[in-house]
Amino acid sequence: MPHSLFYLISASAIGFLMTWGVGANDLANILSTTIGSRSLTIRQVVIIAIIFETAGAFIGGVHVTNTIRSGIINVSLLANTPEILVDGMLATLLSGMTWIWFASFVGMPVSITNSIVGALVGFGALVLGVHAVHWRMVLSIALTWVFAPCFAALMSYLLFTLIRTSVLGTANPCHSARYWMPVFFFLIGTILSFMIILKDLSQFHLEFSVFWEIIITFIVSLLIMLLGLFLCRKLYHRKHIRSRHHRLAYVEKLFGILMMFTACAMIFAHGSNDIAIAIGPMTAIFNIVQHKGHLVGLSTYPGWILLFGTVGVLSGVLIYGRKVMHTVGRHITNLTPSRAFAATISAAGTVILATSAGVPVSATQTLVGGVLGVGLARGIAALNLRIIRNIFLSWIVTVPVAAGLAIGFYYLLRTLLHLVG
């Protein structure tokens, strides 16, 4: 295949730069509730991010990767001209990288899902024709961009309302918190065990009957609950607290421990969704080049590319993630550990549900939806409407901008490659 070395080097370099941008923007957004609520230290968050981002990419991202590589456009139309598909995928990477770097620079949380899907649709519709786009899949993905944040907002609204009425607003918040902590830990355990251990292990040919799924989910949830309560034991042994202010501060510390588990779930969800989306075009390029222009390799993915993407994402968030963290974690609404818990666990459950179904959703949009739900539960005055308006505008323009960039980069690549022969 002509220009094979150029494609491999370019895909590696641009793919790394784009995943770096995903870390600086998307993953920074995911960590924003944990950092903004001051539930965990920076070092604790970094350790959790490294472990669960990697686990999410390797365990949960297979279905989404396949959707991005071949579910948006009909790649079989390019069986005889694979170089066009490679150029299109490279243009998609360039488009996603350019937009997410710009958004990270100005501190706006944008979606790599919207960027990549928009770029693929732009390339497919203009270069191959509108018939080459799987519009039903595109429509289902677009609908999740609306319903996923709304669903996360509704769940976080209801959950924080429950927390406020059952714990924070009671006469003795300390006693109420100790009663509800097992319930909240069990909820986190259920999400982690059912969605991660059972759904995502199907790719390893581990199948369970419904009965055993329920049993395993219950056992793992119980173990996570016991681990969480074990970590709370030092706080439980404190002397009686008389001041209501100090009682609420004590309760928020308990929710800080909950946030440690919740952050694990959300970071895993991000790794299983957004890294898979980011490396989808890069994986397609490597498989086509490796199979000398044949499209038979699109159903496989090398594990080293997942690791490559994970390293890029983690590098981005560590080096340049601060701006987006501040935008979402501190500027939308004031977050405490209890509010961050409601927002994050709602978003994590939403993302993992969609990912297990193979539908790419935006972890960024979903978490912002969760934060909005918590803010609405406290009243519209608790929200920074100017920041929310700017975030929504950035979401709306992402798809057309990504599509236009992809088309421009595609024709630029074709022209340059034609000139060099």
Can you tell me the mean pLDDT for 225-242? 78
How large is the average pLDDT for residues 254-275?
83
- What pLDDT sits at residue 204? 59
Alpha helices by DSSP H, listed for 171-232, are 173-192, 210-231
Query: Is the model's pLDDT at 353 over the cut of 90?
Result: no
Rg of the chain in Å (alpha carbons): 22
Asked if the model's pLDDT at residue 300 lies above 60, the reply is: no
- Whole-number pLDDT of residue 287: 81
Q: Is the pLDDT of residue 205 over 70?
A: no
Question: In this structure, are residues 370 and 85 in contact, taking their beta carbons and an 8 Å threshold?
Answer: no
**CB-based contact 30:308 (threshold 8 Å):** no
Residue 185 has what pLDDT?
Answer: 94
- The model's pLDDT over 386-407, given as tens digits with 9 standing for 90+, comes to 777 877 888 888 889 999 999 9
pLDDT of residue 293: 61
Distance of alpha carbon 218 from its chain centroid, rounded?
Answer: 26
How far is CA 186 from each of CA 191, 192, 226, 230, rounded to the nearest angstrom? 9, 10, 9, 13
Question: What distance in Å separates the CA atoms of residue 421 and residue 412, rounded to the nearest whole number?
Answer: 14
Q: What is the maximal distance between C-alpha atoms in the chain?
A: 80
Q: Is 379 left (phi over 0), alpha (psi -120 to 50) or beta?
A: left
pLDDT level of residue 97 (50, 70, 90 thresholds): very high
pLDDT of residue 55: 83
Confidence of residue 355 (pLDDT cuts 50, 70, 90): low
More confident call, 114 vs 77: 114
CA-to-CA distance for 335 and 34, rounded, in angstroms? 9
Residue with structure tokens 């390893």? Answer: 204
Whole-number mean pLDDT of the chain?
A: 82
pLDDT of 303 strictly over 70 = yes
Strand, coil or helix: what is 2? coil
- Please give the Cα distance from 191 to 306 (Å, whole number): 24
Cα–Cα distances (Å) from 37 to 62, 78, 161, 286, in that order, read 32, 49, 18, 41
How would you label 218-232 residue by residue, b for 16+ Cβ within 10 Å and e otherwise? eebbbebbeebeeeb
- Residues 150-156 have a mean pLDDT of 92
Average pLDDT over residues 36-57: 82
* 338 and 398 Cβ atoms separated by less than 8 Å: no
The per-residue pLDDT for 67 is: 61
Which helix (H) or strand (E) segment holds residue 277: the answer is helix 276-290
3-state helix, strand, coil in the chain (%, to 5): 85, 0, 15
User: Which distant-in-sequence residues (6+ apart) come within 8 Å of 278 by Cβ?
Assistant: 15, 18, 19, 22, 96, 112, 116, 309, 313
Higher-pLDDT residue of 43, 184: 184
User: Model's pTM, two decimal places?
Assistant: 0.81
Q: Which two tokens stand for residue 261?
A: 């588990």
Q: Provide the pLDDT confidence category of residue 266 given band limits of 50, 70 and 90.
A: confident
The whole-number pLDDT of residue 271 equals 81
**What is the mean predicted confidence (pLDDT) over 7-34?**
86
Residue 311 Cα to chain centre, angstroms: 16
pLDDT at 412: 92
Range name among 53-57, 87-91, 117-121, 260-264 with the lowest pLDDT average: 53-57
